[in-house]
Amino acid sequence: MNLSLKDFYQGFRDPQTIKALALQIEQAAQQLDATPETPLKIMEVCGGHTHTIMKYGLGQILPNNIEFIHGPGCPVCIMPKERIDHAIVLAKMDNTILLTLGDMIRVPGSKSSLAKTRAAGADIRALYTPLDAIKIAQENPDKQVIFFAIGFETTTPMTAAVIKQAIALKLNNLFFHINHVLVPPAVVAIMQDDRCQIDALIGPSHVSVVSGAKIYLPLAEQFQVPIVVSGFEPVDVMQSILKIIQQVVAKKHQVEIQYSRAVSLEGNITAQQLIATYLEPRSHFRWRGLGDIPLSGLGLKAAYTALDAEKVFADQLSNEPIDDHKLCICGDILRGLAKPKDCKVFGRGCDPTRPLGSCMVSSEGACHAYYKYAEVALPSSSQSVDGS
Amino acid sequence: MCLSIPSIITQIDVDNIATVDSMGVRRQVSLDLMDQAVTIGDYVLIHVGFAMTKLDEADALASLELYQQIIDEMDAELAEASSAESTLENEQGG
């Protein structure tokens, strides 16, 4: 039998399969030591998984001795305000076109957002693909074109591919402001926190397509937790939870690949080599909500300083840290110490149109997902999101 | 942000570009990041204009077959439970 394209979607969203896996999870979870008071805490690292869990209400069909901790894996959410301010300052320069991916446009910096700056007249464009940066730079030889690059390991090789083309074409008007971040250092920062009690991890889908599941081997060893690399569909997530429970019951802490139709242990070597050619880890990178994390972000190598917007326009840019509102508890939410509904400003002063903190910024952030899927996520006994 | 779209390659174009169909949406994607050769009919994952990996059809098929087995087991268990229940009811009734 051959598959059709439809099977890659529907096969992994099938309600009967979700139900059958829920039954298996329920049976397996009876063998856990975890109780509703001290549940097994599973952190889904990636915002895409948070979105799936909320959208399909997976938390509601799991036994009550299992709890999700919503991790830091949303590259837009973790961007500190001072770097969003960079994008705005750069976009306001004369004779400049600022390019970025769509997710970034609405996110507020300290005073404004790219959307508002665009409305005020700046030339800011959301790209479908980073490759369009080449075309825009070629079509506008008299302007400086700056690509504000964002994303985890998933999106990094695409930026590297564009850098390669820009160099090959000898474009001298295309610059790169690199904000690519890495999953493992952020997970280490969370797991090392003494207050954190995460028992297992659901590993990201497409970060792992690029980097390979090998990047989690040191984490499983260091923190003695099972890590299951999962696809983004609800069936994938349910099967991954079952695999995690089976490991916990068997007292194992291995890296397993549930998403084996796309992920290998080694990952995409071509993509990894392309990244390593042009980019290298920064000594540290500040994450919104989590603070400074060593070796967690990438920057252009010194050989490519002439393309590096942070260096070329350094006199315009401030690196003074700008923190979130003091009532915001996103840092605790990202560490699994609090849930969105524990926050005093959730839905009352902080909502997707006026986000105060990182988790409300994009639909992959925990607060945004809770807000959007409130009826699924919050049982009727809980407060409504508008505080009424 | 990290979402990728399963697609099928419908045409190999020039300059390492391919045309793909993503559930009815046709688009051109770069093959610059592919570390495996691709041909028409291959399934690939697309992310921001690039194909990032082939999807393993045999692996996906094996998963779907496993899921069918799990559903069948659930149905059998539920049928058994309901027949046990009706037997119990009959016994109680008799």
Please compute the mean of the pLDDT values over residues A370-380 and round it to a whole number.
Answer: 63
- Which are the contacts of B10, defined by CB distance < 8 A and separation ≥ 6? B19, B20, B21, B26, B40
Q: Are the C-beta atoms of A78 and A358 separated by less than 8 Å?
A: yes
Q: CA-to-CA distance for B91 and A262, rounded, in angstroms? A: 53
Q: What's the pLDDT band for A387 if we cut at 50, 70, 90? A: very low
Judge whether residue A294 has pLDDT over 70: yes
**Which amino acid appears at position B12 of this protein?**
I
With CB atoms and an 8 Å threshold, state whether B23 touches A130: no
Angle between helices A47-55 and A234-249 (to 10 degrees): 100
- Determine the Cα–Cα distance for residues A327 and A383; give it in Å rounded to an integer: 19
In the predicted structure, residue A255 carries a pLDDT above the cut 60: yes
pLDDT category of residue A380 using cuts at 50, 70 and 90: very low
- Residue-wise pLDDT for A27-68, tens only, equals 999 999 999 999 999 999 998 999 999 999 999 999 999 999
Do B70 and A8 count as a contact with CB atoms less than 8 A apart? no
Q: Give, as one character, the DSSP assignment of residue A279.
A: E
Nearest by CB to residue B33, choosing from A2, A6, A268, is: A268
pLDDT at A231: 97
Is residue A381 pLDDT above 70, yes or no? no
* Mean pLDDT, chain B, whole residue set: 91
Whether A67 contacts A41, CB under 8 Å: yes
Are the C-beta atoms of residues A229 and A201 closer than 8 Å to each other? Answer: no
pLDDT at position A108:
86
Any bridge partners for residue B28, and if so which? B19
pTM over 0.90: yes
Residue A226's pLDDT is what?
A: 98
Percentage with pLDDT > 90 across chain A: 78
Q: Which amino acid is at A351?
A: D
**CB-nearest partner of B2 from A8, A207, A269:** A207
Question: Rounded to a whole number, what is the distance in Å from the CA of B91 to chain A's nearest CA?
Answer: 28
- Structure confidence by residue, pLDDT tens digits, A84-143: 999 999 999 999 999 999 878 888 899 999 999 999 999 999 999 999 999 999 999 999
User: Taking 80 as the threshold, does the pLDDT of residue A1 lie above it?
Assistant: no
List of chain A residues whose C-beta atoms are within 8 Å of the C-beta of residue B71: 16-17, 20
Among chain B, residues having any CB pair with chain A shorter than 8 Å are 1-4, 6-8, 21-23, 30, 32-35, 43, 45, 47-50, 52-53, 55-57, 59-61, 63-64, 67, 70-71, 73-74, 77
Contact present, A358 and A333 (Cβ < 8 Å): no
- Determine the Cα–Cα distance for residues A61 and A244; give it in Å rounded to an integer: 16
Q: In terms of pLDDT, which residue wins out, A188 or B83?
A: A188
Q: What pLDDT score was predicted for residue B92?
A: 64
CB contact under 8 A, B2 and A48: yes
Whether A290 contacts A186, CB under 8 Å: yes
Reply yes or no on whether the pLDDT at B94 is more than 90.
no
Q: pLDDT confidence of B93, banded at 50, 70, 90?
A: low
Residue A15: Cβ within 10 Å count: 10
Determine, for residues B52 and A206 on separate chains, whether the beta-carbon distance falls below 8 Å.
yes
Calpha distance B88→B94 (Å, rounded): 10
Contacts of A127 in chain B (CB under 8 A): 48
Query: What is the DSSP track for A321-388?
Result: --PPPTT--HHHHHTTS--GGGSTTBTTTBBTTB--SGGGTSTTSHHHHHHHTHHHHS-TTSPPTT--
Q: What is the pLDDT at residue A386? A: 39
CA distance A307 to A167: 9
Q: How far apart are the first and last CA of chain B?
A: 63
Q: What is the mean pLDDT of chain A?
A: 93
Q: What is the mean pLDDT of residues A199-203?
A: 98
* Chain A / chain B CB contacts < 8 angstroms: 143
Q: Does pLDDT of B90 surpass 60?
A: yes
